[in-house]
Amino acid sequence: MNSKQELAISKNSVVRILFVDDFAPWRHLVIAKLRDNCGLRIVGVVADGLDAIQKARELQPDLILLDIGLPKIGGIAVTRRLLNVAPNSKILFVSRDLELGTAQVALNEGGHGYVVNSDADKELFAAIEAVMMGKRFLSSRLVSQASEDEGDSRGTGQLCKATISPATLLLLKKKVGRYHEADFYSDDSLFLDRFTRFVGAALKDGSVAIFVGTTSHKISLLERLHAESPENRAAIQQGRYIALNAAEFLSTFMVSDMPDTDRFMKTVDDLISTARQRRNGGHLRVAACGECAHTLWAQGNADAAIRLEELWNEIARTYNVDVLCGYSLKGFPCEESTYTVRRICNEHSAIHSW
């Protein structure tokens, strides 16, 4: 955003905000966005539920921006305690959790609004304004899904009016149009744990899993899959696990340090066709995971990393493919690369940190 904005409700006052989130790169993004609005002032930033209770009691903020997946005490569990110590505060959940049932519980437990992280860039200010005016807010993707279930076409806007009832919320179902998630991990063991679960779940389901990563991660992941279960070993013997080297994979479609769209689509199309020939039974899904975009970013080529995530987004939409991307938090650029972080987060249906 290039110019300062001002909330309609804040012409004569400033909304004092306590921000609660444990993911440092995301905190930098949200703080930068909030500072673009003259009607908002950040009075506190904490990373867990216990600290949130203490700060809310001390600061008595007008608004608490609250994540769901917090350490010590989760966001939903801490909601009632926050309202007890700061009864005049509004609570707006800003979460990477795309489970629609989670949004329902969050609002029923006392939250005043729920914004999905991937929609926050366009919805956060609207959500704050709605909540501070006494309305309830739900991210537009959730509103539209509820309206579809009701046979109602009204759920196309961003504001979710106070008339959204528990009955409407009960209609919410998990209908995410794409699975393209990103994991930001602090060490290799967490990376391998998560990717072992992701690949193992696909193999157990009879689907095909593709991993594209470094040589060391390829070896470690294969060892873990073998050790985890006999089902994994059988699936690997059947050829339903495909492991590729990230550098070699990138070389098939990189032109002048940027992904070439046609070459990328051809490479992935061939790979998915091969994978589906190896599936077990009638399962059509393919699970693809790896660290290609992170490899490009680590090489200093952020533009190429963003473009590659855009292309994987097209794959997730076009094919019946689940995509999981890994990013190491070691040396992770934060404030100096706000634009890049925002673009990468926005290209994913969910963001996780480990």
Q: Which fold has domain 180-353?
A: Rossmann fold (3.40.50)
Q: Tell me the whole-structure pTM to 2 decimals.
A: 0.57
Residue 143: its pLDDT value, please? 67
What is the model's pLDDT at position 177?
Answer: 45
Whole-number pLDDT of residue 314? 82
Give the model's confidence band at 338: pLDDT under 50 very low, under 70 low, under 90 confident, else very high.
low
Per-residue model confidence (pLDDT) at position 216 = 94
pLDDT digits (tens, 9 = 90+) for 228-279: 999 999 999 988 999 999 999 999 999 999 999 989 988 988 888 777 777 6
Residue 53 pLDDT > 90:
yes
Residues 16-48: tens digit of each pLDDT: 999 999 888 889 989 999 998 989 999 999 998
| Tens-digit pLDDT profile for residues 163-188 | 343 333 333 333 334 578 888 888 88
CATH superfamily membership of 8-169: Response regulator (3.40.50.2300)
- Indicate the pLDDT class of residue 224, thresholds 50, 70 and 90: very high
Residues 6+ apart with CB under 8 A from 240: 203, 206, 207, 208, 209, 275, 278, 279, 280
Question: 């470690």: which residue's tokens?
Answer: 220
Question: What local confidence, expressed as pLDDT, does residue 55 receive?
Answer: 95
Query: What pLDDT, on the 0 to 100 scale, is given for residue 284?
Result: 59
Tell me the sheet residues that pair with 44: 18
Does 52 have pLDDT greater than 80? yes
Closest CA to 117 of 162, 69, 83: 69
- Tell me which long-range contacts 120-127 makes (C-beta under 8 A, separation of at least 24): 120/30, 120/33, 120/94, 121/33, 121/342, 121/346, 122/158, 123/158, 124/30, 124/33, 124/34, 124/94, 125/5, 125/7, 125/37, 126/158, 126/159, 127/92, 127/158
pLDDT for 9: 56
What does the pLDDT read at residue 244? Answer: 95
Task: Label residue 120 exposed, middle or buried (CB < 10 Å: 0-12, 13-18, 19+).
Answer: buried
Mean pLDDT, to the nearest integer, of 67-73? 82
Stretch among 22-31, 56-65, 72-81, 84-93 having the lowest mean pLDDT: 72-81
Nearest to 170 by CA among 100, 223, 228, 233: 100
Q: What is the pLDDT of residue 171?
A: 36
Which residue intervals of the chain bear CATH 3.40.50.2300? 8-169
Lowest mean pLDDT among 57-61, 289-293, 309-313: 309-313
Question: What is the rounded distance in angstroms from the CA atom of residue 69 to the CA atom of residue 97?
Answer: 8
Residue 336 has pLDDT above 50, yes or no: no
Q: For residue 140, how many other CB atoms are within 10 A of its CB?
A: 20
State the pLDDT at residue 168. Answer: 37
Q: So what's the pLDDT on residue 104?
A: 77
The pLDDT-based confidence of 204 (bands split at 50, 70, 90) is: confident
Q: How many CB atoms lie within 10 A of CB 342?
A: 20
And the tokens for 226?
């073998």
What is the C-alpha separation between 96 and 349, in angstroms, rounded? 8
Q: Which residue has the tokens 């066709």?
A: 273
Q: Among 13-22, 23-32, 106-115, 316-325, whose mean pLDDT is lowest?
A: 316-325
For β-strands 254-255 and 258-259, DSSP reports them as antiparallel
Q: Where in the chain is the domain with CATH 3.40.50.300?
A: 180-353
- Specify the pLDDT at position 10: 53
Structure tokens at 79: 């909601």
Confidence of residue 5 (pLDDT cuts 50, 70, 90): low
pLDDT of residue 187: 84
Mean pLDDT for the chain overall: 81
